[in-house]
Structure 1
Amino acid sequence: MVLLLVPKDSGGGSPTIGNNVMIGAGAKVLGDCKISDGCIIGANAVVTKDIPANCTVVSVNKIICRNNRI
């Protein structure tokens, strides 16, 4: 189960999820944030801010960006 939560008093909209995003079990996406294309949200991670493309999130907003160069 994934929890997408928008507090009423925040005045914000709902989270925006891009293409090819994997969201692990128990992850929480809170408030008006954008998860860009190609991201991975780890199990039980908490996301409260925008995540750049092709990044991984673990724990609470711990962002690990991947370099796509070969």
Structure 2
Amino acid sequence: MNCIFLDDNEIHIGDNALIAPNVQIYTAFHPTSALDRFGEPKEDGSFAFCKTQTAPVHIGDNVVIKAGSVVTKDIP
């Protein structure tokens, strides 16, 4: 109930996993380096739109994801 799965990449959920309400699973992320996010400035000084990257998220077997959790990386 009320979960968000932002699946720009693969989300794998193992057997017997319990996902509580209001959990958010995101495969998209922004690089921490400004240069990686925006690239080199253009000649007019402007930047490209913020670049987003994705990575799969794997949730293992018999895992409990508590209510309100935000998952952005693998949970073994």
TM-score between both structures, scaled by the size of structure 2: 0.57
Does residue 26 (structure 1) correspond to residue 50 (structure 2)? The answer is no
Aligned residue pairs total 47
Cα deviation, 1:21-69, whole Å, max 9, x if unaligned, reads: 00010001111210000000000100000111xxxxxxxxxxxxxxxxx
Higher relative contact order (CA 8 A, sep 6+): 2
Question: Is 1:38 paired with 2:62?
Answer: yes
Unpaired segments ≥5 residues, structure 1: 8-12, 53-70
Q: What is the alpha-carbon root mean square deviation over aligned residues?
A: 1.0
The residue that corresponds to 1:10 in the other structure is: none
Gaps of at least 5 residues in structure 2 are 28-55
Code of the residue aligned with 2:57 in structure 1: it is C
**Sequence identity, in percent?**
34
- Which 4+ residue blocks in structure 1 deviate beyond 3 angstroms? none
Which structure has the larger Rg over C-alpha atoms? 2
